[in-house]
Amino acid sequence: MIRIDNLTKSYGPFTAVKGLSFSVAPGEVLGFLGPNGAGKSTTMKMITGYLAPSSGRITVFDHDVAEAPVQTKQLIGYLPEGAPSYEAMTVQQFLRFVGRVRGLRGTALEQRLSQVAAQLQLDAVLPQTIETLSKGFKRRVGLAQAILHDPRVLILDEPTDGLDPNQKQEVRNLIASLSRDKIVIVSTHILEEVAAVCSRAIIIAGGRMLADDTPQQLAARSRYHGAVSMILPGATNAESELVKLPQVASVEVDQERLVVFPKAGESLFAPVNELIQRHQWQVEALHVERGRLDEVFRDITREVA
């Protein structure tokens, strides 16, 4: 378990993190969401022991981060914001260096290096100096050093930032495959990523926690939850017929798409389908929305911003 109790961080007169409390258990992938400047990176820096809190307490598997900094750091793999590393080293030198710092030696080190290089598709760049790598490859080197000692806790600050779409997917798969017995905390601005990889999401803004829920439950707070979105070319009477349904609260036109919103507690799929059959409308697309995380995120963080 990671337990965070009333965590606060001030930079001079400015308080970036204000009394955060939460726990994370093995097997959970916790997404850290929040607008720029919310306090995500600051919180991660405190969990990893890189920054001392102004007040509050953090324990990692019962070790206090302030009192047992070495033990807690051994348990954690950390990708800091921007994936910093030693630019003049080659990828191979850097990963070997990190492996040795992590206590790996000999064949155990070499085996782990080749495993991780394969996992992050780094083989081709192992002899290259880090300063000559593209942004996405630098991020992958940062991820490689974070997972090298197979830690029980992974703290990843925007792990997919700057990656191409294929690599984003690879890293999401990697996180999913690593998460079974680990605690993973990832920050991201990509809301689809939260739905794809996180079992839980915490939204913070202005240093305070505003929501702590599953991505599904967060999405269900959206006014789009349960709405039917469809494209009905040529059905000129569709809007006026749909609003007459007793289950329908409203209909909005979004370019060529009609979005039909249910009244509270009503399900629209059956009555809308029945109406389509009755009028023989030609349906080009139809789906029931789960809810839009981006809209929920905006609503939750708007007041603080």
- Applying CB under 6 A, the residues found at the interface with ligand ATP are 11, 14, 16, 34, 36-42, 81
Q: Which stretch binds Mg ion (CB under 5 A): 32-40, 104-112, 208-216, 235-243?
A: 32-40
Measure the CA–CA gap between 213 and 210, rounded to whole angstroms.
Answer: 10
**Cα dihedral sign, 263-268-270-272:** positive
**Site residue total, Mg ion (CB under 5 A):** 3
| C-beta closer to Mg ion: residue 29 or 204 | 204
| Minimum CB–partner distance for residue 41 and ligand ATP (Å) | 3
Read off the tokens for 52.
Answer: 């001392």
| C-beta closer to ligand ATP: residue 42 or 167 | 42
Measured at the CA of 179, the angle between CA 119 and CA 45, to 5 degrees, comes to 90
| C-beta closer to ligand ATP: residue 211 or 228 | 211
Measure the CA–CA gap between 249 and 252, rounded to whole angstroms.
Answer: 10
Read off the tokens for 191.
Answer: 């809301």
| Minimum CB–partner distance for residue 216 and ligand ATP (Å) | 24
End-to-end CA separation in angstroms for the chain: 32
**Residue 36, contacted partner among Mg ion, ligand ATP, none, CB below 5-8 A by kind:** ligand ATP
Binds Mg ion by CB under 5 A, chosen from 2, 7, 41, 145: 41
Measure the CA–CA gap between 257 and 270, rounded to whole angstroms.
Answer: 19
Measure the CA–CA gap between 224 and 210, rounded to whole angstroms.
Answer: 20
| C-beta closer to Mg ion: residue 41 or 160 | 41
Q: Which stretch binds Mg ion (CB under 5 A): 79-87, 159-167, 199-207, 214-222?
A: 79-87
| C-beta closer to Mg ion: residue 79 or 95 | 79
| Minimum CB–partner distance for residue 34 and ligand ATP (Å) | 5
| C-beta closer to ligand ATP: residue 11 or 86 | 11
User: Residue 118 burial by CB count (10 A; 0-12/13-18/19+): exposed, middle or buried?
Assistant: exposed
Q: What string of DSSP letters covers 52-107?
A: --SEEEEEETTEETTT-HHHHHHHEEEE-TT----TTSBHHHHHHHHHHHTT--HH
At position 101, the amino acid (one-letter code) is V
Residue 43 touches Mg ion, criterion: CB under 5 A: no
| Minimum CB–partner distance for residue 35 and Mg ion (Å) | 10
| Minimum CB–partner distance for residue 37 and Mg ion (Å) | 8
| Minimum CB–partner distance for residue 102 and ligand ATP (Å) | 26
Which residues of this chain interact with Mg ion, rule CB under 5 A? Answer: 40-41, 81
